Every structure is written in structure tokens, then in C-alpha cells.
Structure 1
Amino acid sequence: MKKNIELFASIIVWFAVLAQFYLMIINRQAGIIETIVRFFSFFTILTNTLVALYFTSKAFKLKKFPFSIFHNTGALTAITTFILIVGLVYQIALRGIWQPTGFQYLIDELLHSIVPLWVLIYWFMNVAKFDLKFKSVSYWILYPICYLLFVLIRGHFSGFYPYPFLNISIIGYLDTFQNIGLIIFLFLFILALLVFLGKKLPRNRGIESNTN
């Protein structure tokens, strides 16, 4: 049953990511190479890809590098934190300025609402005690830090920023770094909340997750 859930999840998330790639290519406003780079400049895309890789590694029991990182302690809690940030930032900061329709609306809801909720439920049902230590998830903070550095440095030279709240050229350095501070605070808050809630769960939940 658990394997079927992971397989279904991997299919859905891969579908959403690839469909968004298709939509961005056919509606591109720049060259192919630049469009591909911009596609992978979105935290939403990178994080949903992480989710897809996680479920793929679990469903097919892939344990060799690079899939081995998804079997390390703290991986599930860290990825759940990141995808929840995707969902919350979208609902709070982006939904009001972006009204997609048709197929784009479906893909947007998958990437920003359905997948985060799905991962949260999966985490609730499968998180294990060893996944609930700050030390085991600390190295994952390199992911958002490297992402922010990449976006800001590339944006400085290219003029493209994937999100309005990171657009230094429009809102300035002060507001941008205030927004980054809020995002980091949100990351730490969600992580602490998950650790707190996870420790309240019955200890038999997720006990098999370290053997998958």
C-alpha cells in the first residue's frame, strides 16, 4: 500500500513538473536556453522536483547516489518543510497577483496546493523518530541558501528574478533582504513546528521508513 502511494505520488508530481515545463516552453518570452534556465530558477520547480525524486527513490527503492540522499535521516522532514514553504508563499504572496486559467490553473494547483498537502499527509503518516532532530536536517539548509545566492547573483547580471519579492531592481536591496529574512524565519518556524508535532505522534509511525 505504501509503495503504491509513493509510486502514484511520483507520477503525479513528475506530471506537474513536466507539464509546467511544456507550458513555459510554448509560452516562452526568451530563447530556449534562457527559458530552461529560468524554469529551473523557480523554487517551486526545484522543490517539486525534489519531491518527485524522493517519491521515485522510495517507490523503486533506489539507494545509490544521488538517490541515497533521500534515505538519509532528516530528508523527509526537510523536504516537507521546503514544499510547505512553496505552498504558503504562493497562497500568501503570489495567488493574488497571478490568476492562471485552464490547464495552467490545474498545474498551478498541483504544484502549489495539492502536492504540499499530499507531502504533509505522507509525512504525518510516515515520519520516524530519527527524522525529527535539527542536527539531521541542518545540512539541508544549504539548499535554500544556495538557491537564494544563485537567484540574486544571476538576477544582477541577467535582470531576471523569478519572484517579485526577490526583484532587487524593482523593490531594492532593503525590501529584498527583509523578504529573505522572512523566508528564512518561515523555514525555521515550519521546521520547528514539524519537529514538535512529529514528536507528539505515536512512536510506531514511520518506523519502516529507514528500511525503504
Structure 2
Amino acid sequence: MDVTDGKARNLAALTAAVGGFALVLRLYLTLHDGTSVAKGLIDYFGFLTEWTNGLVFLAMATPLLAPHSKAGRFFMRKDVIGWVTSSILFVGIAYFLLLSRNGPKEGLGWLANVLLHYAVPAMVAIYAAIGLRGTALPWAAPLWWALYLIVYFIYALIRGALIDRYPYGFINVDRLGYAMTVRNGFMLLLAFLLLSYALLLIWRFALARNRAA
């Protein structure tokens, strides 16, 4: 997306601000729950939510702060915008379906969850709807987008084996075993691919409508 466009800049700046605030708030809450700083940091960087909202922050802020840098140009690529959008929407949908019932219902923890899992995904979806409307991204693009989830899954398993603590119950090897954990990971990967291809179809449908008009 062209960050020189006023609407794009404002939306990117707002998304980066909200996401950055929510990440700092979550870090504050994690480090003030009675555990050590080291344990808090290990827990904080164990979740896909923090990984992906950090990715969104970079994707929104870097083109604004350094549009002509290699990183700035990378995050302005349309296929990269698609990757970031699919990833953060996957985080929001997975949280709503699998984890929200056990989340905090009030206070700062509730606020952080709402911002990270609902507000930021919604703003990124709007950003992508503007920037990718009428864009025919390659059909193979979701396959490389999925590498992000695979890397995280491997990281979570290695991290869990080293510290005997897993970020999510559905990939807890100690409780489920490797066979069930890998099966759950495969199902989540399949869900991510289905979401990504649905988004590609939506963006391509907008292209067809534009041509028809």
C-alpha cells in the first residue's frame, strides 16, 4: 500500500499505536504477576499473539518511519500485506473459538486481550481491504505465508521441551503426546490455509467487480 496516501498513513499509524500500546500493556501485566522478570519474558515471548501483533507493529510502523529502507519496502509489498493480514486474523479467530472463554473478563487483562485479539485484527483487515482491493495475489502465496506458523509451532515445541511449559493446551506434548500435538498443529495449519485462500478470493472478487464496473 502507498503510505504516502493520507488515509493509509493514518490507519497504519493508528494500528501501530493501538498494537504497540497493547503489547506494552501485556508485557507490563506479564512482568507484574508475581513471577521473576526472566520467567515473565519467557512466558511473554511464548505466545503466537505476541509474535503476530509484533509483526503487525513492524508492518505498520516501518513503512511510515523508513519507507525507503529495505524493510520499509518489504512491508509495503502486497503479498506481505496479505501475509500479515492472514496471520493476525487467524490469531483473532483462533482466540475467539478456542481460548476466549478462559480469558479475563474485566480489568487491564481484558483490555489487552480485546486490543490484541479483536481491535488490531479488525484494523488490519480494513487496511488490507483498502490496499489489496482488486489485487490478484499469486495462488501459491499462502503456502509461504504458512511457513510463519510452522516456524512458530517448531519453536513452541522446542521451547516446551526445554522449559517443560507449553503456551497452549492443544499443543501440550506432556499432556497430549507428540502424535496428537502434531495432528492438532496440522489442523490449525489447514485452517490457516483455508482462511488465507478465502481472503485471496475476496480480494480477487473485488478485482472482478472493479473490472465489471
Q: TM-score range by the shorter chain?
A: 0.7 to 0.9
Instruction: Quote the offset at 1:174 in angstroms.
Output: 2.9
SS at match of 1:194: helix
Measure the CA separation in 2 of the matches of 1:106 and 1:140.
Answer: 29
Which of 169, 174, 196 lines up with 2:174 in the alignment?
A: 169
CA contact (8 A) 2:78 2:131 kept: no
Instruction: Quote the offset at 1:122 in angstroms.
Output: 1.6
Which of 104, 107, 132 lines up with 1:127 in the alignment?
A: 132
| CA offset digits 1:99-146 (Å, max 9, x no partner) | 342111111000011111111122112115556213445433322111
SS at match of 1:22: helix
Instruction: Quote the offset at 1:38 in angstroms.
Output: 2.1
What letter is aligned with 1:196? L
CA contact (8 A) 1:4 1:59 kept: no
Which of 26, 29, 32 lines up with 1:23 in the alignment?
A: 29
1:112 corresponds in structure 2 to: 117
1:49 corresponds in structure 2 to: 54
Instruction: Quote the offset at 1:203 in angstroms.
Output: 7.2
CA contact (8 A) 2:142 2:193 kept: no
- Residues 1:185 and 2:190 are matched in the alignment: yes
CA contact (8 A) 1:57 1:63 kept: no
Instruction: Quote the offset at 1:28 in angstroms.
Output: 4.6
- Residues 1:6 and 2:12 are matched in the alignment: yes
1:195 corresponds in structure 2 to: 200
2:100 corresponds in structure 1 to: 95
What letter is aligned with 2:79? G
CA contact (8 A) 1:75 1:131 kept: no
| CA offset digits 1:137-177 (Å, max 9, x no partner) | 54333221111101101101211111111111112223212
1:210 corresponds in structure 2 to: none
Total equivalences in the alignment: 204
| CA offset digits 1:5-48 (Å, max 9, x no partner) | 2111111110011111111011153x322321221111000100
CA contact (8 A) 2:59 2:75 kept: yes
| CA offset digits 1:64-99 (Å, max 9, x no partner) | 244443133411111111111111111111011223
**Fraction of identical pairs, as percent:** 26
What's the Cα RMSD here?
2.1
SS at match of 1:95: helix
Measure the CA separation in 1 of the matches of 2:74 and 2:97.
Answer: 31
CA contact (8 A) 1:75 1:137 kept: no
Which of 142, 153, 157 lines up with 2:147 in the alignment?
A: 142
- Residues 1:39 and 2:44 are matched in the alignment: yes
What's the TM-score, normalizing by structure 1? 0.87
Q: Which ranges in structure 2 are unaligned for 5 or more consecutive residues? A: 1-6
Q: Which ranges in structure 1 are unaligned for 5 or more consecutive residues? A: 206-212
